[in-house]
Amino acid sequence: MKVIVVALLISSLLSLKTQAAPELLDSVSVIVDQGVVLESEIAELVTVVKRNAVLNNQTLPSDRVLRTQAIEKLIVDNLQMQIAERMGIQVSDPQLEQTIVNIAQGQNMDLAQLREQVAQEGGTYNTYREEIRRELILGEVRRANVRRRVYITEQEVSNLVKLINEQGDQQAEYNLGHILIEFPVEPTDADIDQAKARADKVLELLNKGSDFTKIATAASGGSRALEGGDMGWMNINSMPTLFAEAVKKKSKDDLIGPIRSGAGFHILKVKNLRGIEKVEIAEVSSRHILIKPSVILSDEKAEKMLKEFREQILAGEADFAVLAKEHSADPGSALKGGELGWADPNIYVPEFRDTLAKLEIDEISAPVRSQHGWHIMQLIDKRVGDATEKRKEDKAYQLLFQRKFAEESDVWLREMRANAYIEVLAQQGE
């Protein structure tokens, strides 16, 4: 009997010891200024990249290289999220849900079908949802910090309009692959020589038939490394100036480089080409009043405020332009009484565009929620025709902005990374 009691006591003590020493499920892998990157975040990103590679039939480098690239992306994202927190940038649940609905509609699916697709690809909807929120915040941080670094002169716009007119309507678009062999912000001659030697070696491997996507994922220091260096489709006038000069008269599958810039040596691949056909353009003239929810103004109160404005305007008790000047949170149009001028409606966010499409001339919409906040809008007029000189100028400005924004984004990210305190901690067992 005494033996049984002792055995039970030992069993209980062992059980308590086991409960008192739980297995370590997560750990800090990188210290990033005032934040950290967790081991679980690295593992999750690597898993996502591998899953996407299988879905897209892509080959990947070794796990060690993939981990290094994942850490670098998470460091840059973490620094931007810290900036977002200091700036007070947030994405509300209604804004997030509307964005996800728009993503689903863009893929000809409803929300239930999108959820099912996420599950089939091995993810969870909650993780997907928070990743979209994160991407929206990162995009807003970049816009807020890079936009003020972009300066475009009237002469630049005029020169590009002239070039567009010379090129005619069949302007080439390129789907580019990109590999950046980078060197430090203030490189020595030795740093430059080493980077050039690596770039030449990469180009040699590519010319011998090595997989571009795999090498980009393994070796590129560019922001699209984890996407295999895919830069997507770009008009020649919207891509970085250095690239635009290099791709002229190039054919599909051509390799270009190494091209030196302030960031390092670039290698490009023309993955595909396509032309742009001339289309008839339907334009709208409209005006709006934007109210942005905030800490002191709830979503419900913002909507209610716009309902009251609409009722006052319809009753003849208030003037749309006066209310826009006094209350609209869109500084660009508020001073003009909310007027947005003539524009292709496709430049607007989907909720705004779709609401305008349903309005009759002079009709005022009910409050509509978009990623920017709550709007009421009025359709002033419509017209259909070829692009006017004004639209060519707008197009030229947008192309220049896209080019310079992309260039300045890369510079800003590199500066932010170079000025940050980063400490990569050793993994357990190393």
Whether 408 has a pLDDT exceeding 60, the answer reads: yes
Angle between helices 389-418 and 125-146 (to 10 degrees): 100
Is residue 169 within 8 Å of residue 276, measured between CB atoms? yes
Strand, helix or coil at 380? strand
| Contacts of 397 by beta carbon, 8 Å cutoff, 6+ apart | 152, 157
Q: Which residues of 220-253 are buried (b: 16+ CB within 10 A; e: fewer)?
A: bbbbbbbbbbbbeebbbbbbbeebbebbeebeee
Per-residue confidence (pLDDT) for residue 9, from 0 to 100: 34
Distance of alpha carbon 172 from alpha carbon 163, whole angstroms: 13
The DSSP line for 396-418 is HHHHHHHHHHHHHHHHHHHHHHH
Mean pLDDT for the chain overall: 85
Whole-number Å distance between alpha carbons of 64 and 70: 10
* Burial environment of residue 287 by CB neighbours within 10 A (0 to 12, 13 to 18, 19 or more): buried
The per-residue pLDDT for 388 is 57
End-to-end CA, the chain:
49
Number of neighbouring beta carbons within 10 Å of residue 24: 8
HSE, CB side, 13 Å, CA atoms: give it for residue 223. 16
Position 14 pLDDT exceeds 60: no
Residue 314 C-beta-side C-alpha neighbours within 13 Å: 13
Give the pLDDT confidence of 31-48 residue by residue, as tens digits: 999 999 999 889 989 988
The model carries a pTM of: 0.53
Residue 247, C-beta contacts closer than 8 angstroms, at least 6 positions apart? 174, 176, 236, 239, 256, 268, 270
Average pLDDT over residues 393-411: 88
What are the structural domains, with CATH classification, of the chain? 28-148 (1.10.4030.10), 169-277 (3.10.50.40), 281-385 (3.10.50.40)
Please give the DSSP secondary-structure letter assigned to residue 313. Answer: H
Is residue 257 helix, strand or coil?
Answer: strand
Q: pLDDT tier at 294 (50, 70, 90 boundaries)? A: confident
Residue 241 parent element (H or E): helix 241-247
Residue 22 has pLDDT above 80, yes or no: no
Residue 278 has pLDDT above 60, yes or no: no
Residue 141 has pLDDT above 80, yes or no: yes
CB 183 within 8 A of CB 195: yes
pLDDT digits (tens, 9 = 90+) for 309-359: 999 999 999 999 999 999 999 988 999 999 999 888 988 999 999 999 999
Q: In this predicted model, which residue has the larger pLDDT, 324 or 18? A: 324
Q: Which residues share a beta bridge with 181?
A: 265
Q: Which whole number is the average pLDDT over 55-67?
A: 87
Q: Give, in order, the Cα–Cα distances in Å from 394 to each of 313, 333, 344, 350.
A: 32, 16, 11, 20
Residues whose CB falls within 8 Å of the CB of residue 271, separated by 6 or more in sequence, listed in order: 175, 176, 177, 230, 252, 253
Q: What is the mean pLDDT of residues 204-224?
A: 90
| Res 25 pLDDT > 80 | no
